[in-house]
Amino acid sequence: MTEKAIAKQPRQLYLLFFAEMWERFSFYGMKALLIAYMVTELKFDEPRSYGILGAYSALVYTMPMLGGMLADRFLGYRRAVIYGGILMTIGHLVLALPQEWSFFMAWLLLFVAMVF
């Protein structure tokens, strides 16, 4: 791309790109490690682990519709991205605690983060 073509892009496109990049990094990184973590660390059986993985995948794809409505009507895109990033970071930090309550609390935070 030429310098002139890059300058023509709207500023919000860069924010959208980086927010989407980290959200996808979070999703695919968690999806790759989630079953192993639940079976080895949390001692869940495999059918329960796959059920949680399926619910996680479904919610990740459906929750942004709600987030779009919230951002458009109440928050604005900038605040929505900031709140989502903060909640996603906190969710990943809580997920590092090897206990069952922290596992489900972290997923709650991550789902709410993906709304934004």
Tens-place pLDDT, residues 8-62: 778 777 877 877 787 788 778 878 788 888 888 888 999 999 998 898 888 888 8
Average pLDDT, the chain: 82
Q: What is the DSSP letter of 45?
A: -
> pLDDT value at position 94?
93
Per-residue tokens: 16: 């959208």
Q: Identify the band that residue 100 occupies on the pLDDT scale cut at 50, 70 and 90.
A: confident
46 in Cβ contact with 32 (< 8 Å) = no
87 in Cβ contact with 113 (< 8 Å) = yes
